[in-house]
Amino acid sequence: MSHQSLATASLGFPRIGRHRELKFALEAFWSGRIPDAELIETAKTLRAEHWKLQQEQGITRIPSNDFSFYDHVLDTAVMVGAIPHVYGWDGGEVPLSLYFAMARGSQGDGHADCGHARHGQGVPALEMTKWFDTNYHYMVPEVAEDQVFRLTTQKPVAHFLEAKALGIHTRPVVLGPVTFLKLAKARPSTFKPLDLLTRLLPVYEELFRRLDAAGADWVQVDEPILALDLTEGERHAFKLAYEALAKAAPGLKVMLTTYFGALADNLDAAVALPVAGLHIDLARAPEQLDAVASAVRPGQVLSLGVVDGRNIWRVDLAAILDRLAPLVEGRGGELVEVAASCSLLHIPIDLELETALDPDLKSWLSFATQKLGELSTLGKGLVQGRDAVRHAIDSASQAVAARASSLKVTDPLVQGRIAGIDAGMKARKHAFEARRQVQAETIKLPLFPTTTIGSFPQTGDVRKARSAHARGTLSYKDYEAFLQQETAAAIRWQEEIGLDVLVHGEFERNDMVQYFGEQLSGFAFTQHAWVQSYGSRYVRPPIIFGDVSRPNPMTVRWWQYSQSLTGKPVKGMLTGPVTILNWSFVRDDIPRSATCRQIALAIRDEVVDLEKAGAKMIQIDEAALREGLPLRHKDWQHYLDWAVESFRLCSSGVSDETQIHTHMCYSEFNDIIAAIAAMDADVISIETSRSKMELLDAFRDFQYPNEIGPGVYDIHSPRVPDVEEMTDLLSLARRRLEDRQLWINPDCGLKTRKWEEVRPALVNMVEAARRLRGED
Ligand code: GLN
Ligand code: ZN
């Protein structure tokens, strides 16, 4: 074996295509515009393109089976036959229609989503949830107590052979059995999915034998839960699983792949497993290198995830070479691989598509394609020595140095303000009880005040106007006039139906983070840098590259315009610092908490300006606060401390009379209730309608003192709830909270609904409030 390079691995390449080919093919297929053969062909072309690209870039462990039409967890569920009865599976080959019914639900009666009406008629999709702490969402597999697992498809084998036919030898990727079960949901919830491990393993054993027979030498088995807090039982499950797999296909080498955090207390369990290789995430947990390196068994391949698969910054090649060289020397090149920290799924495909980015910023970035180049440089540099890759190293060093000293990154004014933050800036002038009284005098509200969470339907007209304006076919003036008209109509209608606290409707916003990011310094936006959020939904997260500040007011104009139309109070409407942070690509040169504090100061400026303009109520949405919780419990408090501090910083610049609202989407509140109380918003609205108000238990048990608006209208469904349904929910709320604490509002996201649904539902909601007050 010649040692021209260390083995290099990407662990997974984005599936969506440089030009979002997969999205367009999926949508065309779902709407019946193209046949399944065409969708399948598009997918095949994409796979070939991605394999070739990786080969050209010098990657030696090219992944296969990382492609998915929708989601790799769903693929795994289907592969092992975890297909709930409602989908009407006949036990044969799983047709695309059934696969998509699991992904998206189906309406039955010839719905285009589901070509063959006999499959999964009128069934809901599987639940969807966040993939660890990323912004990717996976479909939650469901398993039954009497679950029978069976290998239903040979997709991993088929894709291996597909690549082989192109002359590319791949390393298939599969989601490991323990992580699969850990992510699955037991239905009914009378048992633990992991109890089914021994029933699941034969399916993996068969798969491994077939991969072996097809000629695979390695398989990448992803077990990211090894970066979580595990029980002894869960650790034992790994032993059981990997011993069985080693026995089933002794010729197939397993690269046990961990990511999103350190192995830490799972290290001993991981290195004891009979696997040929172990991959660790050194972007998230660089500190684990020495401990892991000394714990792995002699002869075991160590895969070093040094290139961040979650972020878009170019790496300092020289620094990585320095760090890894002694290890490679010690272990020998055969026993080390360099890799992305995790699959590149979480970052955009190609920086070269960005033609409008500031050239300096562009020179600091690296997307999936560029990261392949970084990996192969590292692989070569570690074997052939630095001179062989001198040019690449120097250019990376220059970029890193330029970024570190750039005035585009560091803003002395921001630094000065940060240094000047004192305790007084992080607390309201008086405690809630005192504020409540002055607010009640300034803002006359009835008992059980009614309001909404901010947005109103983004109709076809609104979207059309926005894109016409973006394309330049609708002038700024006409676009503004259109938005004013929509806003005015929304204000008028809210007055008419008798809501107590109005909102302007957010018609001018494309997205609750992008809208603010576009007006803040330190943020950049891309043209094509899409990443998969779920299925065919892709997002273009903002890139925070420098110190953040707010050059000009962002929302004051819209608030003023709306308030000028009504005597009722209109809430100012902002996105909070933690949410803006969590939904962006962030800097890696300062801690997340430092960036969050800067955003908090920028939002604080806006809050103060809204108050100056006359706003009596200002809502600061923190939809993603809970989402940002670290994977390990021990890290929670630190995160919650700075997240809460940021919220307090952004919301405490106002006088006691000004009522601060916040909002959170569906969350488990029990374990963060103290933090929520510490945020000290005067009013919090939360989504609760689907939980039968059980989510309020946490507030009751904590004796949460401030005011709360539990959602009483499930806006995630087109159904219009009637008055009784909402009064019923409210009486459940009243059992848990005092009347004086309660607000009445829907769940969030009215922008995704139609006016025909929203109108009657909110009319009913106002009526429910009247009944509660005894007004009818
Ligand atoms: N104000 C936003 C809205 O009503 C909040 C969205 C959210 O919580 N995700 O759309
Ligand atoms: Zn929400």
Positions marked catalytic:
716
Are the C-beta atoms of residues 173 and 11 closer than 8 Å to each other? yes
User: What is the per-residue pLDDT across 184-217, written as a single tens digit (0 to 9) for each?
Assistant: 999 999 999 999 999 999 999 999 999 999 999 9
Please answer whether residues 340 and 307 qualify as being in contact, where contact means their C-beta atoms are separated by less than 8 angstroms.
yes
Query: 3-state DSSP call for residue 480?
Result: helix
Q: pLDDT at position 112, please?
A: 34
Per DSSP bridges, beta strands 617-621 and 659-664 are parallel
Residues 597, 312, 290, CA angle at the centre, nearest 5°?
A: 85
How many Cα atoms sit within 13 Å of 93 on the Cβ side?
Answer: 4
Name the residue at shortest CA distance from atom 9 of ligand 1. 623
Task: Quickly tell me which residue has 């570190």 as its tokens.
Answer: 404
The ligand minimizing its distance to the Cα of 758 is 1
SS3 content of the chain, % helix, strand, coil (to 5): 50, 15, 40
What is the rounded average pLDDT of the residues 488-508?
A: 98
575 CA closest ligand 1 atom index: 1
Q: Report the phi/psi class of residue 587: left, alpha or beta, with left for phi > 0 and alpha for psi in -120 to 50.
A: beta
Residue of minimum CA distance from atom 2 in ligand 1: 454
For ligand 2, the distance from its centroid to the CA atom of residue 748, given in whole angstroms, is 4
Helix (H, G, I), strand (E, B) or coil at 685: strand
Tell me, what DSSP letter sits at residue 719?
P
Categorize the per-residue pLDDT at 107 as very low, low, confident or very high, splitting at 50, 70 and 90.
low
What is the Cα–Cα distance from 375 to 341, expressed in whole angstroms? Answer: 11
First-residue to last-residue Cα distance in the chain = 86
Q: What is the Cα 652 distance to its own chain's centre?
A: 28
Nearest to 474 by CA among 463, 461, 465: 465
Yes or no: say if 535 and 527 are a contact pair by the CB < 8 Å rule: no
Q: What digits encode the pLDDT tens for the residues 112-148?
A: 333 333 343 478 899 999 999 999 999 999 999 999 9
3-class secondary structure, 736: helix
Give the separation between CA 408 and CA 569, rounded to whole angstroms.
40
Helix axes 36-56, 368-384, angle to 10 degrees: 30
Judge if the upstream peptide bond of residue 124 is cis by omega within 30 degrees of 0: no
CA distance 220 to 279: 9
Q: How far is residue 264's CA from residue 636's CA, in Å, rounded to a whole number?
A: 16
The pLDDT confidence band at residue 390, using thresholds 50, 70 and 90, is very high
Q: What's the half-sphere exposure (Cβ side, CA atoms, 13 Å) at 595?
A: 25
Ligand 1 centroid–CA 183 distance in Å is 27
Query: Closest ligand 1 atom to the C-alpha of 619?
Result: 1
Q: Which secondary structure element, helix H or strand E, spans residue 220, and what is its range?
A: strand 218-222
Q: From the CA of 407, how far away is ligand 1's center (Å)?
A: 34
243 neighbors 278 (Cβ within 8 angstroms): no
How many CB atoms sit inside 10 A of residue 363's CB?
Answer: 18
Q: Which of 135, 506, 570 to mutate to test the pocket of ligand 1 (most atoms within 8 A of CB)?
A: 506
Can you read off the two tokens belonging to residue 772?
Answer: 């509660």
At 119 the pLDDT is: 41
Residues 6+ apart with CB under 8 A from 301: 7, 255, 276, 277, 278, 334, 335, 336, 337
Q: Which residues have CB under 8 Å from 470's CB, separation 6+?
A: none
Q: By the 8 A CB rule, do 758 and 721 touch?
A: no
- CA 694 to chain CA centroid, nearest Å: 25
Residue 9 predicted with pLDDT over 80: yes
Which residues lie across from 575 on neighbouring strands? 621
Give me the percent of the chain exceeding a pLDDT of 70. Answer: 98
- How confident is the model at residue 4, as a pLDDT? 78
Ligand 1 binding residues, C-beta < 6 A: 453-455, 512, 573, 621, 623, 663, 665, 748-749, 751
Residues 435-475: tens digit of each pLDDT: 999 999 999 999 999 999 999 999 999 999 999 999 999 99
Q: Is the pTM of this model over 0.90?
A: yes
**Which of the four pLDDT bands, split at 50, 70 and 90, describes residue 3?**
low
Output the CA 709–ligand 2 centroid distance in Å: 12
Instruction: Quick: pLDDT tens for 278-309.
Output: 999 999 999 999 999 999 999 999 999 999 99
Q: How far is residue 246 from each of residues 174, 193, 217, 256, 593, measured CA to CA in Å?
A: 15, 22, 13, 12, 43
Contacts of range 354-358, beta carbons closer than 8 Å, 24 or more positions apart: 354/526, 354/527, 354/528, 354/529, 355/527, 356/527, 357/524, 357/526, 358/408, 358/524
Say how many Å lie between the CA of residue 76 and the centre of ligand 1: 33
pLDDT over threshold 90, residue 111: no
Residue-level pLDDT at 776? 77
How far is Cα 126 from Cα 113, in angstroms, rounded to an integer?
Answer: 15
Q: Which of 270, 276, 254, 271 is nearest to 205 (CA)?
A: 254
pLDDT for the residue numbered 353 = 98
| Residues 17, 715: Cα–Cα separation, whole Å | 32
Q: What is the pLDDT of residue 5?
A: 83
- Look-up: residue for tokens 């305790």? 423
Residue 573 CA: which ligand 1 atom is closest? 1
Q: Whose CA is nearest to atom 1 of ligand 1?
A: 454
CA distances in angstroms from 717 to 18, 314, 744, listed in the order given: 33, 43, 19
Nearest to 211 by CA among 247, 172, 168, 179: 172
pLDDT tens-digit series, residues 593-627? 999 999 999 999 999 999 999 999 999 999 999 99
Nearest CA to ligand 1 atom 8: 623
pLDDT at 2: 44
Beta strands in 379-482 (DSSP E): none
- Report angle CA 160, 162, 168 to the nearest 5 degrees: 70
Long-range contact list for 190-199, CB < 8 A, 24+ apart?
Answer: 190/145, 191/145, 193/143, 194/233, 194/234, 194/237, 196/143, 196/147, 196/149, 197/237, 197/240, 197/241, 198/240, 199/147, 199/148, 199/149
**What is the rounded average pLDDT for all residues in the chain?**
95
Structure tokens at 541: 């997260």
The predicted complex's ipTM stands at 0.98
663 CA: nearest ligand 1 atom = 8
Write the DSSP string, 147-201. --------HHHHHHHHHHHTT--EEEEEE-HHHHHHHSEESSTTS-GGGGHHHHH
